[in-house]
Amino acid sequence: MRADFTSPALLTLRRQSLILGALALLLFILGNHQEAAIGFDSRFVMFANEMLRHGPGFFPTTYGQPYADYSATSTLLTWLLSLPFGKVTSLTAWLPTAIASASTVTLMYRLVAAQSRTWALVSVALLLLSMTFITETRAVSLDQMLAALSFSAFYLAYAHDHFAAPRRHFWLLALLVLGFAVRGPIGLVIPSGILCSYYLLNGQWRRLISFGLQALVLLILCIGTLLMLAWISGGEAFVHEVIRMQVTGRMDGTEGASGVLYYFTSSMGNYALAYPLAVLVLLAILITGRKPSGPALQLVKYCVGAALIVMIGLSIPQAKKARYLLPMLPMAAIIAAYPFQVMHGRVFAGLRGLIQGLFLLLPGLLIIGLLVVRKRFGEELPPLTVIFVALAVLQVLAVGVLFKAQWRVAGLATCAVLAMWSSYIMVFEPAERSLYDTRTFTLKAMQLIDQAPAPVVLHGMGKDAKAIKFMVNVDRDLLPLFTQSSAELAALPAPAWIIMDRKDYEALQGSDLGNIAPTLSGRFDKNDYVLLHRP
């Protein structure tokens, strides 16, 4: 059944959703200018750096060679954004992810506000309070982009049936192709599964079969195109590497394995508050018994189907990581906020009180948490005076809106979101970047290397691991040598510059290399590293 909305109401709702999305985007990029790349971001920044130096291709490159695990789509976006600046910055690297997250916020509000604006605002708040959402939004995240594409497909299908919107079948197929371009086969399979679950629960059998067959054909065509581009980029050997990295390595667990129930259990923490609250809401719906299924409950049903298809589908491959489950999060947030649509029943009233209580207490809980953390890790944290003042102000505001019925829900949700994001941006993120910094050591090392040019050796660093965290800070092409054993080190011709973990250096004591005093010592990715010059 389609909702009956007047054109002015729809225009107002769209305007509100765009404003909310724009505000979210500002929050997502706040304080993001010249941050150093750390962790998983290092790989994608290195991709973009090499693309700036050598031009675009079908696959990103490291050390001048195509990289099999990803297509070049996300790197192309960063490259285009970085061209005006002539270099890759944290803003140009993160901006595609931030835009994807903001689009999810926009569409979520537009989808749910048609039923209830309060329900929509709480849904958005629970989405923004998930730590996995926060950390992935403030990073280069293909999974966050896929989550936005998947939710966009869900929205288009729902809007056609319930908002009298055009079918836009072409755009649904285009989203599948774009998902594949961003995330490989899984990028097409996940939104396809979400749409198939929607058509199944909606009883649209002909559309389910038709769309399923079209998605299968698209998957075959996209895989064929991917392998053809891989052959053009690196020949037969690279084709096999693409298959291993993007398909078989994920299925057989060679990329890391976890149990079948990993997503169902770990999401209690990784996707709090949305996921555990969604579980409670579903239990509440079962407890209160079957009632006439209105549009709001139907939407919850579709969200449950979509979330389960993602969780069950991703549980099949052996390789599992928390961020892979991001396409489930918008659905969980909508389900978790459902009590703000149901105004009857003590169970739902209790859930509304629980959620508002969490919103109310969050600024104060963060103050307590930071006090505990400062006591244990004070030297590793940035100054906390400003964040304590900000959280105190937000706590006072939260208590104030508690007595204003018309502002209570939106006010508490806003205070909670601002408290969480300000704590992350002002405390956690700077501490993490200081702890895992690689730029300081790399720049000092390269200054010394440039004074006496010689081959650079990265010992025990891993070509696709620690080494990338060094290379991402080098502003030119550099082809280092890689060694893993002391025998390989001893066989190296002189002169050479050698970078290694201090523990590896101490293990060489008594050898010729062990007798060389480090030219540079410093922290690198949370460890002590040294630079040796072998004359």
pLDDT in tens, the chain (535 residues): 454 444 677 788 899 999 999 999 999 999 876 778 898 899 999 999 999 999 999 999 999 999 999 999 999 999 999 999 999 999 999 999 999 999 999 999 999 999 999 999 999 999 999 999 999 999 999 999 999 999 999 999 999 988 877 878 999 999 999 999 999 999 999 999 999 999 999 999 999 999 999 999 999 999 999 999 999 999 999 999 999 988 887 776 555 567 889 999 999 999 999 999 999 999 999 988 756 578 999 999 999 999 999 999 999 988 889 999 999 999 999 999 999 998 788 999 999 999 999 999 999 999 999 999 998 887 788 999 999 999 999 999 999 999 888 999 999 999 999 999 999 999 999 999 999 999 999 999 999 999 999 999 999 998 989 999 999 999 999 999 999 998 999 888 889 999 999 999 999 998 888 889 999 999 999 999 999 999 8
How many angstroms separate the CA atoms of 427 and 489, rounded?
A: 41
Question: Comparing C-alpha atoms, which of 472, 186, 178, 470 is closest to residue 326?
Answer: 186
pLDDT for 290: 58
How many angstroms separate the CA atoms of 321 and 325, rounded?
A: 8
How many angstroms separate the CA atoms of 18 and 440, rounded?
A: 40
State the DSSP H helix or E strand holding residue 278, giving kind and residue range, or none if neither: helix 274-287
pTM across the whole model: 0.94
Beta strands 496-501 and 527-534 are antiparallel
How many angstroms separate the CA atoms of 285 and 347, rounded?
A: 9
pLDDT for 348: 94
Structure tokens at 69: 């695990």
| DSSP 8-state code for residue 532 | E
- Residue 522 bridge partners (DSSP): 529
Please list, in sequence order, all residues whose beta carbon lies within 8 angstroms of the beta carbon of residue 267, skipping any fewer than 6 positions away.
275, 311, 322, 325, 328, 332
Question: Comparing C-alpha atoms, which of 121, 207, 115 is closest to residue 157?
Answer: 207
pLDDT tens digits for range 345-360:
899 999 999 999 999 9
pLDDT for 254: 55
Outline where 163-204 has alpha helix (H).
169-183, 185-201
Of the CA atoms within 13 Å of residue 176, those in its CB half-sphere come to 27
Instruction: Indicate left, alpha or beta for 231 from its phi (over 0: left) and psi (-120 to 50: alpha).
Output: alpha
Outline where 378-464 has alpha helix (H).
385-401, 408-423, 429-435, 439-451
How many angstroms separate the CA atoms of 94 and 111, rounded?
A: 26
